[in-house]
Structure 1
Amino acid sequence: KGAPLGTNVVAAKNSQGVLDYISENTDAIGLIGVNWIGDKEDTAQGRFLEKVKIASLECTGCQPIVYTQPFQYNIATRRYPMIRRLYYILKENYSGLGSGFADFLIYERGQLIFRRAYLWPAKMRLHVRDASLGE
């Protein structure tokens, strides 16, 4: 803590820069948001996934699975360990645009913004059902 970073540490300007650097340097590791690689229907994200590998991280509470990837289900159930919460701080002394937007984000329509970005909405209900695939 407080020590300078090593000479092998590189900063990118944005997530696109991280992906570009990782794809050009095979021994490099980078951190980006899951919304950059979560949408399988997005052709640009598909091209990213052809260039880089998504790391599986250890899940200490998952049995029999030992490693987990950043999928919405794993984020929602906290199996994936590298998550961050979103906090908003209002500095208004009245009910204005900021508090209205914060209220919007709390309810289902606002939470769908996060879901569509392949992030996990904090307040959405999660239903896990067993299913079997038959022929």
Structure 2
Amino acid sequence: MIKAAKSLLAMSMLVLAACSGNQEKNQDTSTRGTISISVDESFQPIIESQVNTFEGIYKYAHINAMYKAEGAVIKDLLDDSTRIAILARKLNADEKAVFDKRKLTPRYTRIAIDGVALIVNNKNQDSLLTMKQVKDIFTGKIENWSGINAASKLKNITLVFDNNNSSTARYMRDTLMAGQPLPAGAYASNSHEALIDYVAQNENAIGVIGVNWISDRDDTTSMNFLNKIKVVGISKEENPTSTDSYFQPYQAYIAQGEYPLRRFLYIISTEGRAGLGTGFAAYVASDKGQRIILKSGLVPATMPVRIVGFNNRASSFEQ
């Protein structure tokens, strides 16, 4: 009887040890394990580069990045479907309240400064707009290209977004429209590729797209996109007297603040410990991760950018 009891105890200890070993094995660390992250699809090119490089350095780390519209990414975070999200904004008060109830404090890692680009058809001669004109277009005050240029032969302006629930659509509503709905003629495409193709095929269209889809000059996909469309230059002046007052969303102009449509990019973590998501966030914010962002055409958020020779001045930008 005593022998049987000792045998049972020994077996129980072995089972507990095995279970404990499995839990330790399955629990991710900052450089190993498997996790899923939810990412604003506006930033797919740059985050794909970051994930591929991170996994190349840490061979036991596997990150399943799910690219979705901003609203779907927020939902994943609130539903606890993911504990790592990459977004172009911080959580609002209502969203924070969800985590307050769970006794969780979301942690933010700012990783880049991005621009929202406006693109037009290659045949459109009006590729320079003031911020006032942009606002009037997006609020419906200007509906026809003749409202921009009386000599224009183009007709009604068609606004094109990647998705009605996207971060670029939300950004334009918040920045230019005080949260009001998009104009009735606005059109939502199914993807960034479809958006660019639509603008390339429709002379009346203006597309709204994240800069990182068209900013990496070493990326063939980005260059193919640029060959199909024109990128709009924007002036903050109401009545510019020179084309020098207009700025396209190039890295230097985003860094200097000359290009007006810009936003920050964050990694938001609700991990309660230093897991793989925390390790990935630290990598993206590190020198190596920031250099990938620099190469992509976005502005690194945690390292200074030295800009020489633009507008006859040198300046440094650190955010």
What is the TM-score with the length of structure 1 in the denominator?
0.81
Q: Comparing both chains, which one has the higher relative contact order based on Cα–Cα distances under 8 Å and sequence gaps of 6 or more? A: 2
Residues 299 and 305, structure 2, Cα contact 8 Å, conserved in 1: no
| One-letter amino acid of the structure 2 residue matched with residue 27 of structure 1 | N
Deviation for aligned residue 1:109: 0.7
Note the residue ranges of structure 1 that are not aligned, 5 or more in a row.
Answer: none
Distance 1:80 1:96, change over 3 A: same
Q: How many residues align structurally?
A: 128
Residue 187 of structure 2 is aligned to residue 10 of structure 1? yes
Distance 1:15 1:102, change over 3 A: same
State the Cα deviation string for residues 43-86 of structure 1 (Å, max 9, x = none).
443332232111001134xxx73110011101111111111211
The alignment partner of 2:226 has SS state of helix
The alignment partner of 2:188 has SS state of coil
Report the Cα distance in structure 2 between the residues aligned to 1:96 and 1:58, rounded to whole angstroms: 44
Partner of 1:98: 277
Distance 1:91 1:75, change over 3 A: same
Distance 1:93 1:82, change over 3 A: same
Report the Cα distance in structure 1 between the residues aligned to 2:308 and 2:183, rounded to whole angstroms: 45
Deviation for aligned residue 1:33: 1.8
Partner of 1:27: 204
Note the residue ranges of structure 2 that are not aligned, 5 or more in a row.
Answer: 1-178, 313-319
Of 45, 49, 59, which aligns to 2:236?
59
Report the Cα distance in structure 2 between the residues aligned to 1:55 and 1:99, rounded to whole angstroms: 37
Q: CA RMSD in A?
A: 2.4
Residue 300 of structure 2 is aligned to residue 121 of structure 1? yes
Residue 213 of structure 2 is aligned to residue 36 of structure 1? yes
Report the Cα distance in structure 1 between the residues aligned to 2:275 and 2:295, rounded to whole angstroms: 26
Distance 1:3 1:48, change over 3 A: closer
Distance 1:103 1:17, change over 3 A: same
State the Cα deviation string for residues 16-66 of structure 1 (Å, max 9, x = none).
111001001111000112222223344443332232111001134xxx731
| One-letter amino acid of the structure 1 residue matched with residue 228 of structure 2 | K
Residue 261 of structure 2 is aligned to residue 108 of structure 1? no
Deviation for aligned residue 1:90: 1.3
The alignment partner of 2:268 has SS state of coil
| One-letter amino acid of the structure 1 residue matched with residue 193 of structure 2 | Q
Deviation for aligned residue 1:120: 1.2
- Structure number with greater Rg is 2
Partner of 1:86: 265
Identity across aligned pairs (percent)?
Answer: 36
| One-letter amino acid of the structure 2 residue matched with residue 85 of structure 1 | F
What is the TM-score with the length of structure 2 in the denominator?
0.37
> As a proportion of its length, which structure holds more helix?
2
State the Cα deviation string for residues 80-118 of structure 1 (Å, max 9, x = none).
111121122211111111111111122111112212222
Partner of 2:102: none
> As a proportion of its length, which structure holds more strand?
2
Distance 1:28 1:98, change over 3 A: same
